[in-house]
Structure 1
Amino acid sequence: MKKNELYLNDYAQLCREADGLEPEMFDKYEVQRGLRDKNGNGVVTGLTNISRIDAFKTVDGVKTPCEGKLWYRGYDCIELVKGFRGTRFGFEEAAYLLLFGNLPNEKQLKEFRDMLAANRTLPTNFTRDVIMKAPSSDIMNSLTRSVLTLASYDRNCSDTSVENVLRQCLNLISVFPMLAVYGYHSYNHYQNDESMYIHRPSRKLSTAENLLMMLRPDKSYTELEASVLDIALVLHMEHGGGNNSTFTTRVVTSSGSDTYSVIAAALSSLKGPKHGGANIKVVEMMQDLEKHVSDWEDEDAVRDYLKKILNKEAFDRKGLIYGMGHAVYSLSDPRAQVFKGFVHQLASAKGREKDFALYSMIERMAPEVIAEKARIYKGVSANVDFYSGFVYSMLEIPLEMFTPIFAIARIVGWSAHRIEELINMDKIIRPAYKSVMREQEYIPMNER
C-alpha cells in the first residue's frame, strides 16, 4: 500500500473518532434524522402549490395508511395519464401544467410545443468543445458539467427575475435530452470504442420521440415505445417539494444563486443511489437474482434469495430489497401502479413475459419477507423505481442513461419549484443544527 493511502486511512479514522455521534443523542435533543420522525413524517419546511403526495388519511382522528396518490397542480396524476394516453404525447402538456398552473387548451399547447422545439439547439461547437471533451461513463456528471458551462453563454446568467429565470428554465428543459444523449454517445465512442452518432432533434417530434430517435443509431422506434417513455417522463416529472433534489433546488435558489448553479446542484443530488439512481440498483439486483436462482417460477427459491438479501448475504450485502418501500407512500405508489399497467403490454411486445412474471412475483412476495424481519409502521409496496428500470431495459436504453432520463423529466419540477421559491420567499433557507461539542482549553504546541 502506498504511503499516501496509509495516511488517508489514518486520517479517515480520525474523522470517524471526531465526528461520530451516539444515535441516542438524536432522540435526546429531539432531532429528526433525515428531517423525518420515527413515524415517517417529514419536517415541514415550506408551502407549495405545485404538487401533493397522499399516503395517509385521517379516520376517526387516527392517521391511517391509504392508497397513494400524486397530484399535479390539483389534478390526479393517474387521471392526467388517462387523459392523453393513446391520443397524444403528454410530456409537454404536463410540463405546461406544472409551470403555469393550468391545463393548456389546443392553441396554448401548440405554442408551448413550438417554443420548446425552437429551443432545442446548443451554442455553436458546444457538442464538440464541451460534451465530447473528457467524456465520462457517469453521464450525470457530464450533464452537470454541460449545464454549468451553458452559463458562460448566457449574458443574463445572474438575473433572477421571474421572466429571465423562466427563459433559462425553458431552455434547459428543451436541451436536457440533447445534453444527456450526446454525453452518452461521446462516452460510448471514446471509452467503449463504438461508433459515434450525433442526431439532431426534430422540431416535429415530441420530447420522448426525440429521445429515442437521438439515442438509437438508426433513429427508429415504435409508437408503443415512445408512448411508454413519454408516460415514464410524466410520472417522474415532479414529486413534491420535500424530495432531496427538489429541496436542494429550493435551498440553493433561496441563496440568490443563478439558474445554472441551482440545476447543477439538483443534478448532483439526483445522481445519488438513494434518490435518482435507485432504479439502476433494481436492475442490478434482478440480474444477480437471475444468476443465483435457476428456476424463476420456484417461489420458495425466490423467497430464500430475498431473505438472503435482507440478511446481507446476497447481492450488495446492504440488506435492502431495492424498489420496495418509499419514504412517503405507504400502501402503494401510484406511479408504480400506472407503470405496471403498461409494462405488461411492453413485455409482451418485447418477448419478456417471463421477466414480467418474475417482477410481479417479487412485487407480491417482497413486502411479506420484509414484514417478517422488520417492524413496518406504514406498509411496504413497490415504488416507481421497481418497474422503471425494467421499462428502460425493454426500451434498450443503456444503464448509464437511466438517471439522466429521470433528470430530463424532473428538470420541469425543479423549474416550477425554483420559480415558486423566487416569487414567495425571498429569504435564505437556513435550518439550525444543535451543537453537542465539548468546550476545551487551548493546548500550546509544546504540550500536545
Structure 2
Amino acid sequence: MEGKKDNGMDFVTSLCEEYRAHNYIDPSYYERWGVKRGLRNADGTGVLAGVTQIGNVLGYYVQDGERYPMDGKLIYRGINVEELIDGFMREGRFGFEETAYLLLFGALPDRTRLEEFKQALSDNHTLPKMFTEDMILKAPSPDVMNKLARSVLALYSYDDNPDDLSLANQLRQAIQLIARVPVIVAHAFAVKRHYYNDESLYLHRPQPGLSVAENFLYSVRHDNRFTEQEARLLDLCMVLHAEHGGGNNSAFACRVLSSSGTDMYSAVAAAVGSLKGPRHGGANKKVMEMFRYIESDVKDWKDDEEVKDYLGKILRKETGDRSGLIYGMGHAIYTLSDPRAVLLKKFARELAETKGMLDEFQLFEAVERLTPSVLADVKGDKKVVCANIDLYSGFVYKMMGIPEELYTPLFAMARVVGWCAHRLEEVGGSANRIIRPAYKAVAPLRPFVPLDQR
C-alpha cells in the first residue's frame, strides 16, 4: 500500500463495514443495566467520583429530590471568583499569579509570598536548552494544542528527576509547567505560522518583571506591543479559565492518570489532549466558526426574527457545521447563568465600544437571548439554558487581535494551574486508589473457529 495516494484508505474504508457489523451496541442496554452514560445521573447531575478542596461549580440546588435553577457560582478554594477578581482589580493588580498560588496551595499569599511566587515563575520561564529547536522547530504541527501536548510529554526527558512523587518535587514540576506552557504555546504558534502560513519566524524571550498575560502578548506579537487594557483583559480570561472543579473532562483525565502513579508530564499531557476536543476547550473555536455562518447569512443582525429563524436552521442541521448544536449555549451544571460568561460579557461590551464592534457584540447578545425560545420551538426543550464562557471568550480574543488557533491554547495556559492542583491532590490525597470504573460486557460467548472454516 506504500506510495499510493490514498495511503491505503480504500482498504480501510472496506473494513468499516465489517467493523460496524460486529460493533453495534443497542442503546437500550444503557437503561437496562443502569449505565450512567458520561458518568452522569439520570437527572443530569454528575456521578460523585471524589472529593476536592480546590474548586466548586454551583449551577442549581436540590430540594426534595428536585433540581432547581440558580445563578451560577464558581468557587476557588472557598472564595467566590467574583470576589477574587474584584479584589485584585480594585487594587490595580494582575490576578493570574495570585490565583495560581491560591489554587495550588489553598490560601491567598501575603505580599512577600506573592512576590516570591512571581519570581519563581519568572525564574522558570526559560525552556530547557535546545528544547525549542529539537521539539518544536524540527517537528512543526498545524495545531498548537497537538504541539503543546507533545512538548509537555517531552519535558519528561529534560527533567533530572521526573518520577519522584514527593510533594517538593511535584511542586517544582507544577511551577515549571505553569511558567513554561505559555512559552511553549508562543513558540509553537510562531513555528506553525512560519511553516504553514509562510510568515516570518519570530521567537521572543519572556521579559522579567512582566505578568504572565503581559509576557504572552509580548511573545506572540512580532512588534512585542500590547495595551494595558489588552493585558488586563487577558489576565481576567486566564483567571476565569484556571479551574472548574475536579469533574470537568480534562481535570478528570489528569486525575485518572495521576491515580495510576504515573509522572506529572504524562498526566498533564493527557489533560491537554482532552481540552483540545470541541466538546471541551475547543468549543470557543466552534463558536467563532458558527458566528461566521450567522454573520454571512443573516442580512439584518438587528432583526430578532431573522436571527431566530437562522438559529432554528442550525438546530435542524440545515446550516452551519450540520451538528445541530448552538455553540456557546448551555452547560452541564450552570442553569440561569455562567458567572464566567457574565463577567466576560461585561468587559466584552466595554472593549467592543472602544473597538467599534458594538454591532457584532449585540449579535452575540441576540444569540444568547433567543436560543432558549428556539430550543423550545424546534426541539420542545424547555429546560433553562444560559450562555457559557465560550460564547464570549472567542469574541474577546478576536477583538484583541488574537488568532483563532490560539483560543484553546490560551485556555490550556490557564487551566494547567487547575490540572496541577488536582494532580497534587490526587497523588497526595487520602483516596490513594487507582480510578477504575466498570463497563458491562455485552458480547455473547462463542467458540473459536479455525481459519479454514471461517
TM above 0.5:
yes
- 1:323-364 Cα shifts (integer Å, max 9, x gaps): 000111111111100111111111112111111111111110
Q: What residue in structure 2 maps to residue 210 of structure 1?
A: 215
- 1:36-85 Cα shifts (integer Å, max 9, x gaps): 12321111111111011111123466431111111000001111111112
Q: Which residue among 162, 172, 179 is the counterpart of 2:177?
A: 172
Q: Is 1:438 equivalent to 2:451 in the alignment?
A: no
The answer to whether the 8 Å contact 2:375/2:382 transfers is no
Q: Which amino acid aligns with 1:447?
A: Q
Q: What residue in structure 1 maps to residue 195 of structure 2?
A: 190
Q: What residue in structure 1 maps to residue 384 of structure 2?
A: 379
Number of paired residues?
A: 448
Distance 1:324 1:58 in 2: 23
Q: What residue in structure 2 maps to residue 256 of structure 1?
A: 261
Q: Which amino acid aligns with 1:422?
A: V
Q: CA RMSD in A?
A: 1.4
Alpha-carbon distance, 1:125 to partner = 2.0
- 1:142-177 Cα shifts (integer Å, max 9, x gaps): 111111221111110111111111101110100111
The answer to whether the 8 Å contact 1:96/1:104 transfers is yes
Which is further off, 349-358 or 311-320?
Answer: 349-358
Alpha-carbon distance, 1:13 to partner = 2.0
1:69-148 map, 5 Å: 69-86=73-90, 87-148=92-153
Q: Which residue among 255, 268, 276 is the counterpart of 1:271?
A: 276
Q: What residue in structure 1 maps to residue 57 of structure 2?
A: 53
Structure 2 gap ranges (5+): none
Q: Is 1:149 equivalent to 2:185 in the alignment?
A: no
Alpha-carbon distance, 1:241 to partner = 0.5
The answer to whether the 8 Å contact 1:93/1:109 transfers is yes
Q: Which amino acid aligns with 1:412?
A: V
Q: What residue in structure 2 maps to residue 399 of structure 1?
A: 404
The answer to whether the 8 Å contact 1:36/1:43 transfers is yes
Q: Is 1:341 equivalent to 2:336 in the alignment?
A: no
Q: What residue in structure 2 maps to residue 36 of structure 1?
A: 40
Question: What's the TM-score, normalizing by structure 2?
Answer: 0.96
Q: Is 1:429 equivalent to 2:435 in the alignment?
A: yes
Instruction: Mark the CA change 1:254 to 1:3 in structure 2 (over 3 Å): closer, same or farther.
Output: closer
Instruction: Mark the CA change 1:267 to 1:433 in structure 2 (over 3 Å): closer, same or farther.
Output: same
Secondary structure (helix, strand or coil) at the match of 1:404 reads helix
Q: What residue in structure 1 maps to residue 11 of structure 2?
A: 7
Q: Is 1:247 equivalent to 2:252 in the alignment?
A: yes
Which is further off, 188-197 or 220-229?
Answer: 188-197
Q: Which amino acid aligns with 2:17?
A: Q
Alpha-carbon distance, 1:106 to partner = 1.2
- 1:381-437 Cα shifts (integer Å, max 9, x gaps): 100000001011111111111110000000000000000001113211111111111
Distance 2:276 2:257 in 1: 17
Distance 2:143 2:97 in 1: 27
Distance 2:168 2:412 in 1: 23
Instruction: Mark the CA change 1:439 to 1:198 in structure 2 (over 3 Å): closer, same or farther.
Output: same
Q: Which amino acid aligns with 2:299?
A: S
Q: What residue in structure 1 maps to residue 369 of structure 2?
A: 364
Alpha-carbon distance, 1:3 to partner = 8.9
Secondary structure (helix, strand or coil) at the match of 1:52 reads strand
Q: Which amino acid aligns with 1:403?
A: T
Q: Is 1:320 equivalent to 2:343 in the alignment?
A: no
Distance 1:187 1:363 in 2: 34
Q: What residue in structure 1 maps to residue 164 of structure 2?
A: 159
Secondary structure (helix, strand or coil) at the match of 2:114 reads helix
Q: Which residue among 17, 20, 45 is the counterpart of 2:21?
A: 17
Distance 2:273 2:65 in 1: 40
Secondary structure (helix, strand or coil) at the match of 1:85 reads helix
The answer to whether the 8 Å contact 2:246/2:252 transfers is yes
Distance 2:219 2:6 in 1: 45
Distance 1:40 1:377 in 2: 15
Structure 1 gap ranges (5+): none
Question: What's the TM-score, normalizing by structure 1?
Answer: 0.97
Q: Which amino acid aligns with 2:160?
A: R
Which is further off, 179-188 or 146-155?
Answer: 146-155
Distance 2:161 2:186 in 1: 27
Secondary structure (helix, strand or coil) at the match of 1:15 reads helix
Alpha-carbon distance, 1:2 to partner = 5.1
